[in-house]
Amino acid sequence: MRIRRTVPAVVLAAAVAVAAVPVAALPAIAKPAASKPSKPSESRPAKPAKPAKVKFAANGTVTAVDLDQATVTVAVKSGTKDVKGRTVSITVPTTTRINVDGGGKTLSAIAAGYRITVTGSHAGPLYTAAKIQAHGVRTRPAPSTSPSPTPSPTDTDDSPKSDDD
């Protein structure tokens, strides 16, 4: 019977004792002791967080293609606000779907002057293409530089005649 009375009394006494501790002292009690790093490698500064990948879309004209670096540079006329009105260099991985003039192609089929639509993602300043659609420049026939035939003057009976005839 004594145990039944003792347990609630101990719990009540503990609650009163905790309430009596000043609130300002609690953070000092709860804070763990600082430990010194055991190895010099543990004292390195934390790595900066990677920028989040954001999707983008760009429509414009190809200004350059670098096959060695697998990049295409685009003068963007329209698209998402992060690329609109800028010239952007876009990395083209081998997994990128490339469509040139209606057929599947490789990056080597794209040339400067082509109209292009690129969708993909970027993390900070690094743009990576996921899909490319390009259309070649339609060449118009150059105007003919040969002179057109002009009528030559001919003798007609309307010319004035001299009185000596």
pTM of the model: 0.53
Distance (Å, rounded) from C-alpha 16 to C-alpha 38?
Answer: 41
Q: Is the pLDDT of residue 149 over 60?
A: yes
pLDDT at 25 > cutoff 60: no
Range with the lowest mean pLDDT among 59-63, 66-70, 101-105, 154-158? 154-158
The CATH architecture of the domain made up of 54-135 is: Beta Barrel (2.40)
Q: Give the length of the chain.
A: 165
pLDDT tens-digit readout, 44-92 = 777 777 777 889 999 999 999 999 999 999 999 999 898 889 999 999 9
Residue 33 has pLDDT above 90, yes or no: no
Report whether pLDDT(42) > 70. no
Cβ neighbours of residue 146 under 8 Å, at least 6 residues apart?
none
The residue ranking higher by pLDDT, 86 or 148, is: 86
Q: Read off the DSSP letter of residue 151.
A: P
Beta bridge partners, 139, equal none
Q: Residues of 147-160 as b/e, b for ≥16 C-beta within 10 angstroms?
A: eeeeeeeeeeeeee
**High-pLDDT (> 90) share of the chain, %:** 33
What are the sequence ranges of the domains in the chain? 54-135
Question: 70 — phi, psi (to 5°)?
Answer: 55, 55
- The average pLDDT across 117-138 equals 89
Cα(137)–Cα(63) distance, rounded to whole angstroms? 13
